[in-house]
Amino acid sequence: MSDLIRDMFQLVRPEDIRVLQSDDETGAPKQKMGFFTDTTLCIGCKACEVACKQWNQLPSDGFNFTGHSYDNTQHLSESTWRHVAFVEQVDATRDRTGSRWLMMSDVCKHCEQAPCQEACPTGSIIYNEFGDVYVQPDICNGCGYCVVACPFGVLGRSEEDGHVHKCTLCYDRQRDGMTPACAKACPTDSIQFGPLDLLREKAQERVKTLQERGDTQAYLYGDEAIGDYSPLQAFFLLTDHPNTYNLPEAPKRPAKGMTARYLFSLATGAALTALAALFFADGERG
């Protein structure tokens, strides 16, 4: 019966959407693919930003100078899906050996349990067959709820078409067996693309190597769950506190505790309605 109703109204269950997108007859997602961004290898050339803009034909963000660093892009947005952060740490001691430049190519984190996907009311945001979080441009109606749901500030709504856009992890290239544009363009392999389990292994080895070499501050951000937040399918190797790169220290899943909040809200309304019933029954007495 419920199947019939669903067919009649062409309703799609959210859990079906994941399956619908799979080429595979079994409906199982193919191998999960992701990014590993090793910030110790980044030289800040911004080739990833350019390659992303070119391949995805993203509009210009204008010609702005921030004046604080070589970073004139500042943040990810609907028209910027890769953003290179420049952290300039200048040591004030006499020998200045503590100075360093931290560069990090930021991108949509493709969270395993993505708040934007949970928030999306139209089912436009899905997990595709590569396990990546994808905004279907022909479904999005620009409600803007994912914009405030994302704890990384990744998504933006375009003024041009009114839809939300973000990194697709080059879904189109992946379908043709190609590497995403940014990873392809990266000259130092700071951006690596591949099957997630392999990437995570590789990343852990890299951290070990760095630590052995004396870079004891190297660690992985998002390769596994951060508190109650799901692992990120685009994770990072960092050498400073996440806030230094404008990343949240421990992102929070907005939907956590939502049911309790609904109940609390309904209980308030119901209690006041019951009181109203009493007052109406009392009439002018009391």
Partner 1 sequence: MNRPDDLNAAAPLEGGITRPDNGREHIRRPIDETFPRNYYDVPMLKPPVWTWEIASYFFLGGLSGGSFALARMADRFGGKTMADVRRIGTLVAFSAFLPCPALLIADLGDRKRFHYMLRVFKPKSPMNFGAWVLSLFGGVLTIAVLKEWLLGRARGKKGRIFSVLSFGTDLLSDFAGVPLGLLLAGYTGVLLSTTATPIWARNRWLGPLFSAGAISSGAAAIGLAEAAMSGKRRRSGRPLRRVEMASRVAEAAALGGFLLEAGRLAKPLTHGKYAAHLWVGAVGLGLALPTLLSALPGRFEKSHRWLKIGSAAASLAGVFALRWAITQAGTPSANDPQAARDVSRPAH
Within residues 153-192, the interface with partner 1 by CB under 8 A covers 153-158, 161-164
Q: Among 21, 22, 69, 179, which residue sits at the site for partner 1 (rule: CB under 8 A)?
A: 69
Which region, left, alpha or beta, applies to residue 128 given φ > 0 means left and ψ of -120 to 50 means alpha?
beta
| Residue range at the interface with partner 1 (CB under 8 A); choices 22-30, 41-49, 119-127, 186-194 | 119-127
**Using alpha carbons only, what angle is made at residue 189 by residues 238 and 219, rounded to the nearest 5 degrees?**
20
Is residue 88 close enough to count as binding partner 1 by CB under 8 A? yes
- When the beta carbons of 130 and 229 are compared against partner 1, the nearer one is 229
The token duo for 61 is: 């963000």
Token match 């590789």: residue? Answer: 202
User: Which residue intervals of the chain are DSSP H helices?
Assistant: 2-8, 14-20, 47-56, 115-119, 145-149, 171-175, 181-185, 196-212, 258-282
97 contributes a contact to partner 1 by CB under 8 A: yes
DSSP H/E element including 37: strand 33-38
Binding of partner 1 by 62 (CB under 8 A): no
Contact letters for partner 1, residues 121-140 (x by CB under 8 A): xxxx--------------xx
From the list 242, 222, 245, 239, the residue with the least C-alpha distance to 86 is 245
CA atoms 231, 86, 157, 193: torsion sign? negative
> In terms of CB distance, is 25 or 278 closer to partner 1?
278
Interface residue with partner 1 among 30, 44, 118, 179 (CB under 8 A) is 118
Is residue 240 at the binding interface for partner 1, with CB under 8 A as the rule? yes
Helix (H, G, I), strand (E, B) or coil at 237: strand
Query: What is the nearest approach in angstroms of partner 1 to the Cβ of residue 270?
Result: 6
Cα 135 to Cα 280: distance, rounded to the nearest angstrom: 50
Choose one: 26-34, 86-94, 194-202, 204-212; the region binding partner 1 (CB under 8 A). 86-94
Q: Is 203 in the site for partner 1 (CB under 8 A)?
A: no
Min dist. Cβ of residue 124 to partner 1 (A): 7
Tell me the C-alpha to C-alpha distance, in Å, between residue 80 and each of 17, 115, 165.
Answer: 27, 20, 9
Min CB(135)–partner 1 separation in Å: 12
Q: Which residues 7-46 are close enough to bind partner 1 by CB under 8 A? A: 11-14, 17
Pick 44 or 144: Cβ nearer partner 1: 144
Q: Please identify which residue in 31, 54, 141, 188 interacts with partner 1, judged by CB under 8 A.
A: 141
